[in-house]
Structure 1
Amino acid sequence: MRHPPRSVLAAVAGAVALIGSVTVPVVTASGAAPACSVEYSVTSQWDSGFQGAVRITNNTAAMRSWSLAFDFAGGQKLTQGWNAKWSQSGTTVTAASESYNGSLATGASVSAGFIASWSGSNAVPTSFKLNGTSCNTAVEPSPTPEPTDPADDGPPVLRASGNKLVDAGGATRRLLGVNRSGGEFMCVQGRGIFDGPVDDASVKAIADWKANTVRIPLNEECWLGLSTIDPAYAGANYINAVKDLVAKVKAHGMTPVVELHWTYGQYTGNSAGCSDVHASCQKPMPDMQYTPSFWASVANTFKNDGTVVFDLFNEPYPDRATSTTTQAWQCWRDGGSCPGIGYEVAGMQDLVDSVRGTGATNLILAGGIAYSNDLSQWLTYRPADPAGNLAAAWHVYNFNTCANESCWNSTLAPVAAQVPLVAGEIGENTCAHGFIDQVMKWFDDRGLSYLGWTWNTWDCSSGPSLISSYDGTPTAFGTGLRDHLRALNG
């Protein structure tokens, strides 16, 4: 979706500063019948900091609240955390339950995450206490890259099975929710990372609509930490903010979809969103210079978490630059030197290869041409996926070309018959919901997925906005989606 007019940041391109990730051995319980067990992991690490997680399993009587304590042994300093009330006194770190996850039945587990600084060494804690009781622990091998569900009540690990999305048990799942815009434009404009609050209360408000999915648009220059971006909003700071939002989305049982929205590359041709070479608007196609590196970094960050879905590129429109539709679809899949586009293009196959080259098997979404509104040749040109975990993405607004049932029946239905279909953005610029009501019915009748644009407090007539307040107060447009989700999901 194009956004309300905003300032454009002009600067000079700089070098990429990729942030890697590391895994340390996980501490898990051993012994015949431990009172509790704790799994501790470092999910990513950079020069001066790291992201960690704990998974607590209660093997005794049910608890109404819990408090986990452990000691940092390498001088680490806690900076923030989620899914628990985190604190540190000296070397002792405490994670106390929140109001929504304090109840812990016998055999039940709960997960929480944190970010901390380190220097010298990042030693793994060796002892843990849950409500004052020692948990039996022992060092075991690092977790394998195969994605697993992070918590019993968390979002599922999704796979494409035929034309359905299924969870680990084979049950059919649908992605039904909203977009949370901001991460694609605030950083490049030097105004922050997200547009509006992304605290636990604001994410809970999304869950209260009975949404099960949140799509999070991103900016490649900010993620990669290019020198054109204010360091406060780039590199590790940006990545950690995205991770934090992903963790909050998951903590409320929702599937996070991380999506590449704005990219590098100068395009001034037909339907250009801006003349800037930098990632300050929607470009017709992703660029070969930075986008494969972006997706390799994102995939490395989340490859151990199969609940995270990857949406390769927001709204391709090579058809506005090329002279034929065939050229547009060839550019879409194969990239390279595309007619009418002055930079080297990264095609969808390049991006799938970048993700799979990391070992990530996460579900991938790929939108078609014409701002993801045209899937007429998606099946013909779909990229090869060695993991077999690819779905088609589609966007529709009342002002698009393919915005009626006749087009949906002729172009969408054949795609949906062979692969999972996700409407990553649905909306209308009327401040009403009559159009999306039609879209949702068509998708409901076929068991397909859709996400409303967008969970931001903009003027819903200039850029379809679902809410007027981050407490979840809907606009007239948003009322349609909210009430429909609540009717579907109770």
Structure 2
Amino acid sequence: MRHPPRSVLAAVAGAVALIGSVTVPVVTASGAAPACSVEYSVTSQWGGGFQGAVKITNNTAAMSSWSLAFDFAGGQKLTQGWNAKWSQSGTTVTAASENYNGSLATGASVSAGFIASWSGSNAVPTSFKLNGTSCNTAVEPSPTPEPTDPAEDGPPVLRASGNKLVDAGGATRRLLGVNRSGGEFMCVQGRGIFDGPVDDASVKAIADWKANTVRIPLNEECWLGLSTIDPSYAGANYINAVKDLVAKVKAHGMTPVVELHWTYGQYTGNSAGCSDVHASCQKPMPDMQYTPAFWASVANTFKNDRTVVFDLFNEPYPDRATSTTTQAWQCWRDGGSCPGIGYEVAGMQDLVDSVRGTGATNLILAGGIAYSNDLSQWLTYRPADPAGNLAAAWHVYNFNTCANESCWNSTLAPVAAQVPLVAGEIGENTCAHGFIDQVMKWFDDRGLSYLGWTWNTWDCSSGPSLISSYDGTPTAFGTGLRDHLRALNG
């Protein structure tokens, strides 16, 4: 079933029988306050339906956006809601803040309501999570962590808190580093798994640039071990190679981002990269046939290691296939039969559900449309995440449409005000770094994250490429990123 559009209740039609409010009490231990409290009430009930409400109180640090998750225990089905972006996946209901009520100061409260159907019983939910934190449960204060050396203790476990990425101690973090391309194309071309060395020395060379993050593009057919891929570079061999690279990245104190780059599904429409049904090029959207299984497998592989970040899909471009921007964004979130795309699409909500269905709570990145260069409606169509651990991803090159400060101020700034924003790829095809210097300054001024494309020894005018040797020797383009990272983190 596709995820229905979220609607705002204008009026409740039909007769309703008002019943007494059923409220979940706040339960705390003596001397300790809950991080948040939620009062759930059934305000009206009638044959087959009811009206409910939640009142959320934030008892921790102020937040600029919020997402409440709870489970219906009696088979209830959400039909519509107001004062929040309401959605339901299975039994899990999510209410995410609107643009006008995302700011929630310490001690402040916000209320939202909904209508749902029921049959048999209308059991009251027993647990609630606000931005991934359990509510109505006493939380003892955590001791202040001692400063650590990332190279010795590994990268942090990251989570989205309002519009920031924070570590386990609540300190703000930024993802600053590079992409390490190869895992998306070498295997499907029968040439290996990675392009160039991925030994300890080559990974240490990335760390020597003072990078703290490495994004690793992947291929779903190679990971799943489909019969069209040389077994030497597929299935367990491919997965183990990825796990080994992730371990090396972590050993040097850097955050690994595993990202789905090339996928299955035949697309021959506007801006098609190839006519092949197999994962041999970039497709406009992920496919329902294999991509949910890919992410379930990846999530199961890394769910016990929350330092690993999941980037759902490299560069969606359903806007090149569909006739309207609204259709493109609907396709992006909900998938299904998208105009102009001949295969069944897996939307971003399907992929979030696949990851969370494994129990993985790792940070998830979701890039927008137009090759992840357009985030203009990301907040409107963002998928519901029951773990409340979702960030927006964006890509920019000097030849993209949204490649100037005016566009960044109008389309990126509103997103960055509500959720963490990561520029998963920045680059230019000039073999210089004047453009990315502008990008990095804009992101630095706002405390945001960015990753250069790419740590491969290609021609910087066609790649673009950051290095001329895997010992870390930069190209003229790479010099700009290297020197900037060293200035920031040296």
Identify the range of structure 1 (241-250 vs 95-104) with the bigger mean alpha-carbon deviation: 95-104
Distance of 1:190 and 1:44 partners within structure 2? 62
Deviation sequence 1:281-307 (CA, Å, 0-9, x none): 000000000000000000000000000
CA distance change for structure 1 residues 13 and 29 in 2, over 3 Å: closer, same or farther? closer
Identify the range of structure 1 (415-424 vs 12-21) with the bigger mean alpha-carbon deviation: 12-21
Q: State the shift of 1:437 in Å.
A: 0.1
Distance of 2:89 and 2:338 partners within structure 1? 58
Q: Residues 149 and 157 of structure 1 are in contact (CA less than 8 Å); yes or no, is this contact kept in structure 2?
A: no
CA distance change for structure 1 residues 94 and 428 in 2, over 3 Å: closer, same or farther? closer
CA distance change for structure 1 residues 260 and 144 in 2, over 3 Å: closer, same or farther? farther
Q: Residues 36 and 135 of structure 1 are in contact (CA less than 8 Å); yes or no, is this contact kept in structure 2?
A: yes
Q: Residues 430 and 461 of structure 2 are in contact (CA less than 8 Å); yes or no, is this contact kept in structure 1?
A: yes
CA distance change for structure 1 residues 163 and 457 in 2, over 3 Å: closer, same or farther? same
Distance of 2:418 and 2:151 partners within structure 1? 31
Q: How does 1:38-187 map to 2 (within 5 A)?
A: 153-187=153-187
Deviation sequence 1:189-242 (CA, Å, 0-9, x none): 000000000000000000000000000000000000000000000000000000
Distance of 1:109 and 1:321 partners within structure 2? 43
Q: State the shift of 1:64 in Å.
A: 47
Deviation sequence 1:18-70 (CA, Å, 0-9, x none): 99999999999999999999999999999999999999999999999999999
Does residue 378 of structure 1 match 2:381?
A: no
Q: State the shift of 1:149 in Å.
A: 13
CA distance change for structure 1 residues 68 and 98 in 2, over 3 Å: closer, same or farther? same
Distance of 1:17 and 1:202 partners within structure 2? 69
SS of aligned partner of 1:27: coil
CA distance change for structure 1 residues 400 and 224 in 2, over 3 Å: closer, same or farther? same
CA distance change for structure 1 residues 101 and 297 in 2, over 3 Å: closer, same or farther? farther
CA distance change for structure 1 residues 147 and 160 in 2, over 3 Å: closer, same or farther? farther
Structure 1: runs of 5 or more not aligned: none
Distance of 2:489 and 2:373 partners within structure 1? 27
Structure 2: runs of 5 or more not aligned: none
Q: State the shift of 1:153 in Å.
A: 1.9
Q: Residues 374 and 402 of structure 1 are in contact (CA less than 8 Å); yes or no, is this contact kept in structure 2?
A: yes
Does residue 5 of structure 1 match 2:10?
A: no
Distance of 2:151 and 2:25 partners within structure 1? 19
Identify the range of structure 1 (113-122 vs 306-315) with the bigger mean alpha-carbon deviation: 113-122
Does residue 222 of structure 1 match 2:222?
A: yes
CA distance change for structure 1 residues 167 and 346 in 2, over 3 Å: closer, same or farther? same
CA distance change for structure 1 residues 411 and 358 in 2, over 3 Å: closer, same or farther? same
CA distance change for structure 1 residues 170 and 339 in 2, over 3 Å: closer, same or farther? same
Q: Residues 21 and 300 of structure 1 are in contact (CA less than 8 Å); yes or no, is this contact kept in structure 2?
A: no
Distance of 1:59 and 1:282 partners within structure 2? 45
Distance of 1:328 and 1:11 partners within structure 2? 30
Distance of 2:437 and 2:281 partners within structure 1? 29
Deviation sequence 1:317-343 (CA, Å, 0-9, x none): 000000000000000000000000000
Q: State the shift of 1:96 in Å.
A: 50
Q: How does 1:198-217 map to 2 (within 5 A)?
A: 198-217=198-217
Distance of 1:420 and 1:207 partners within structure 2? 23
Q: Residues 4 and 462 of structure 1 are in contact (CA less than 8 Å); yes or no, is this contact kept in structure 2?
A: no
CA distance change for structure 1 residues 379 and 50 in 2, over 3 Å: closer, same or farther? closer
Distance of 1:431 and 1:182 partners within structure 2? 21
Deviation sequence 1:244-290 (CA, Å, 0-9, x none): 00000000000000000000000000000000000000000000000
Q: Residues 2 and 282 of structure 1 are in contact (CA less than 8 Å); yes or no, is this contact kept in structure 2?
A: no
Q: Residues 394 and 422 of structure 1 are in contact (CA less than 8 Å); yes or no, is this contact kept in structure 2?
A: yes
Q: Residues 17 and 225 of structure 1 are in contact (CA less than 8 Å); yes or no, is this contact kept in structure 2?
A: no
Deviation sequence 1:74-96 (CA, Å, 0-9, x none): 99999999999999999999999
SS of aligned partner of 2:55: strand
CA distance change for structure 1 residues 272 and 84 in 2, over 3 Å: closer, same or farther? closer
CA distance change for structure 1 residues 206 and 55 in 2, over 3 Å: closer, same or farther? farther
Distance of 2:138 and 2:55 partners within structure 1? 14
Q: Residues 67 and 95 of structure 2 are in contact (CA less than 8 Å); yes or no, is this contact kept in structure 1?
A: yes
CA distance change for structure 1 residues 275 and 39 in 2, over 3 Å: closer, same or farther? farther
Distance of 1:235 and 1:266 partners within structure 2? 22
CA distance change for structure 1 residues 161 and 340 in 2, over 3 Å: closer, same or farther? same
Q: State the shift of 1:463 in Å.
A: 1.1
Q: Residues 292 and 350 of structure 1 are in contact (CA less than 8 Å); yes or no, is this contact kept in structure 2?
A: yes
Identify the range of structure 1 (29-38 vs 435-444) with the bigger mean alpha-carbon deviation: 29-38
Identify the range of structure 1 (443-452 vs 105-114) with the bigger mean alpha-carbon deviation: 105-114
How many pairs are equivalent?
490
What TM-score, normalized by structure 1, do the two folds share? 0.70
Identify the range of structure 1 (56-65 vs 217-226) with the bigger mean alpha-carbon deviation: 56-65
Q: Residues 322 and 340 of structure 1 are in contact (CA less than 8 Å); yes or no, is this contact kept in structure 2?
A: yes
Q: Residues 35 and 137 of structure 2 are in contact (CA less than 8 Å); yes or no, is this contact kept in structure 1?
A: no
SS of aligned partner of 1:151: helix
Identify the range of structure 1 (146-155 vs 174-183) with the bigger mean alpha-carbon deviation: 146-155
CA distance change for structure 1 residues 18 and 72 in 2, over 3 Å: closer, same or farther? closer
Q: Residues 426 and 436 of structure 2 are in contact (CA less than 8 Å); yes or no, is this contact kept in structure 1?
A: yes
Identify the range of structure 1 (25-34 vs 435-444) with the bigger mean alpha-carbon deviation: 25-34
CA distance change for structure 1 residues 464 and 88 in 2, over 3 Å: closer, same or farther? same
SS of aligned partner of 1:80: strand
Distance of 1:133 and 1:233 partners within structure 2? 40
Q: Residues 38 and 56 of structure 1 are in contact (CA less than 8 Å); yes or no, is this contact kept in structure 2?
A: yes
Tell me the percent identity. 98
Deviation sequence 1:172-204 (CA, Å, 0-9, x none): 000000000000000000000000000000000
Does residue 433 of structure 1 match 2:433?
A: yes
Distance of 2:355 and 2:227 partners within structure 1? 24
Does residue 192 of structure 1 match 2:192?
A: yes
RMSD over aligned Cα atoms: 17.5
Deviation sequence 1:345-404 (CA, Å, 0-9, x none): 000000000000000000000000000000000000000000000000000000000000
